[in-house]
Amino acid sequence: MLVRDLMSTEVVTVPADATLDDAVGRLLDEGVGSAVVVDGGDPVGIVTESDALRAARETSKPLAEVGIRAVGHRPVVTTTPSTAIPTVARRMADEGVKKVPVLNGVDLVGIVTLTDIVWHLSDLRSETSRFEAARKAWDPR
């Protein structure tokens, strides 16, 4: 199974010069837990609900006074549509991230999340079993 099979193609973005208030507004309007921070179309970070809560608590400033660059995760971990799900899942675990923007060349084409992967665990296990059975069928021993 590849990233293209699980990714969401409707990616919520906020510009790098936005405020946290702008980002929270987008999260609430779109009903999502994260937004990709873009600079000229290039993903430069991710801001999550937890980031917004942490920044609000730690800065004690109105959200409109907090720049998004101060709270977004950087550098952003990305993947491609043709990456195998186990590969991206391992990278997510290694990097400690739950959401990974998907790039096709330089174009942002989707996002894959830990939730996407968890929802498809049974499909991934079935695929692994099929590959293992095919490998055993071709094993000359």
* In the chain, where the domains are located: 3-138
Q: What is the pLDDT along the chain (141 residues), one digit of tens a residue?
A: 899 999 999 999 999 999 999 999 999 999 999 999 999 888 989 999 988 998 989 988 999 999 998 887 677 899 999 999 989 999 999 999 999 999 999 899 999 999 888 876 676 666 666 666 667 777 766
Please name the CATH architecture into which domain 3-138 falls.
Roll (3.10)
Asked if residues 53 and 91 have their Cβ atoms less than 8 Å apart, the reply is no
CA–CA distance, 136 with 125 (Å, rounded to integer): 16
